[in-house]
Amino acid sequence: MSFFDRTPGYGTRHHSFLLRPNMRRLTCRAAAGYESYPLPASALFLTRCCENLNTFFRWHGDNTSDRQPMRHLRILTHIVDVARSGSIRRSAERMNITASALTRQIQDFEEELGTPVFERTAQGMRLNAAGELIVQHALTRAADLDQIRSRIADLQGVRRGHVTVVCSQAFARLDLPREIEACRRLHPLVSFSIRVLDHSRALEALRRYEADLALVLQPLPDREIQPLLHYTLPLCAVMAWDHPLARRDGAPVRLRACLEHRLALPERGMATRQALDAALLRLGQTDPEDIAVDSDSMELLTEYVRRAGAVTFQAASPLQGEEAGDLCLRPLDPRDAEPVSCVLGHLRGRVLSVAAAKFADQLARSLHARYGH
């Protein structure tokens, strides 16, 4: 989309732009930034994006066709990919360009920057200190560009965008599929990427601008994360309906009773296992005797429970228990286990795209209404 008509500048370092229909003139100074941007209400969001827009309006000298910043944005994307893969060849194959062309792009960028950004080692390409700063800058600019694109689409009356959510496994089966479906009923042009990660890796994904939102269990306090919603879920024992501990009334069950049966436990390091280990510690136990299997896959654990008559544990609510079908969920007695903390949040200071912000609001409202916190 083009929303500027370019008009002749007033000097070698000045350029004026005319915003298309119903917008006023915006004048920017290539060296000094924006002088003024009186805008109508429908475009007030631009006033909050001046630093980001400056990237796109910074022209070099008097060459009005040389859009260096957009070219740099593409190169920065390539640098981020190489940093993640550690290999020029693998990144070039993924981007469908030759390795020599990608190498030249990086070398040209380093020459223009005046410093290398990679250490070339026998093990591959590794970012140096300057490269770390460049990658962080690139991730920030890419996120800002997504936000601007989303807001432009919003001005056009088109709800489009892409939302990336990282979540604990507890939310991947019911909560997020339900909310994505509800969102796309209203806004079919919004797409989603969902990554299931443990709580520490999920928060790291937010810091690296790899995700817009995180919905996780038991996160450690982190000043870089802005919570949007905090609530708790009981730690539940999960079993087949023909298991001796299964009950239709969903009454709490004592942890000691569960330990008398074969167990299928979440892997150590997972939030649910940490909550369970804390409960076991209160009972003076470290490891239950009859652990048949442990795994980082809740899908595997629940399937084993169906087949082998074992008991596993997960953070869930009675509402989720009603949708569990052939599995019975019973909350552990509050005397044995504390509720599990759940947090929906995003990176502090990051301005979300319209699509991500609207989905975050929808998700927070829905979880608050469903779980009553």
Structural domain includes residue 353:
yes
Q: What is the mean pLDDT of residues 205-215?
A: 93
Q: Tell me whether residue 146 is in a domain.
A: no
Same domain, 333 and 242: yes
- Which of 88, 105, 137 corresponds to the end of one domain? 137
How far apart are the C-alpha atoms of 137 and 19, rounded to whole Å?
28
Which two structure tokens, joined as six digits, stand for 215? 């919905």
CATH (domain of 222): 3.40.190.10
Tell me which of 65-79, 260-274, 306-320 is least confident: 65-79
Which CATH number belongs to the domain containing residue 94 in this structure?
Answer: 1.10.10.10
- Does residue 145 form part of some domain? no
Residue 154 inside a domain? The answer is: no
Q: What's this model's pTM, rounded to 2 decimal places?
A: 0.61
- Does the structure show a pLDDT above 80 at 256? yes
Residues 49 and 180 in one domain: no
Domain count, the chain: 4
Determine, yes or no, domain membership for 63: no
Q: Of the ranges 48-57, 298-307, 364-373, which one carries the lowest mean pLDDT score?
A: 48-57
Are residues 128 and 109 located together in one domain of the fold?
yes
Domain of 281, in residue numbers: 235-338
Last residue within a domain, chosen from 38, 57, 76: 57
pLDDT at site 319: 56
Of 62-66, 76-80, 263-267, the range with the highest mean pLDDT is 263-267
- Split at pLDDT 50, 70, 90, the class of 158 is very low
Nearest 5°: CA angle at 342, between 339 and 348?
145
Q: Indicate whether 101 and 132 sit together in one domain.
A: yes
- Going through 169-290 in order, the beta strands assigned E by DSSP cover 189-196, 213-217, 225-233, 235-240, 263-266
Residue 41 and residue 12 share a domain: yes
What local confidence, expressed as pLDDT, does residue 168 receive? 92
Q: Is pLDDT at 221 greater than 50 in this prediction?
A: yes
Q: Are 179 and 152 in contact (CB under 8 A)?
A: no
* pLDDT at residue 348, rounded to an integer: 92
Share of the chain above pLDDT 90, in %: 40
Are 197 and 345 part of one and the same domain?
yes
User: What is the C-alpha separation between 332 and 316, in angstroms, rounded?
Assistant: 11
Same-domain status, 218 and 291: no
Instruction: Tell whether 260 and 291 lie within a shared domain.
Output: yes
Taking a C-beta distance cutoff of 8 angstroms, is the pair 272, 312 a contact? no
Domain assignment of residue 144, yes or no: no
Q: Does any domain span residue 87?
A: yes
- Same domain? For 88 and 217 the reply is no
Arithmetic mean of pLDDT, 42-59? 38
166: Cβ–Cβ under 8 A, 6 or more apart, which residues? 194, 195, 196, 197, 201, 202, 205, 206, 210, 211, 213, 214, 215, 216
pLDDT classification of 92: cutoffs 50, 70, 90: confident
- Which residues, 6+ apart, have CB-to-CB distance to 65 below 8 Å? none
Residue 62 lies in a domain: no
- Percent of the chain past pLDDT 70, that is, above it, reads 76
The answer to whether residues 46 and 190 belong to one domain is no
The residue length of the chain stands at 373
Which secondary-structure segment (H or E) carries 19? strand 14-19
If asked whether residues 129 and 222 sit together in one domain, one would say no
**37 and 164 in one domain?**
no
Note the pLDDT tens digit of each residue in 98-128: 888 888 888 888 888 888 888 888 788 888 8
pLDDT for position 34: 36
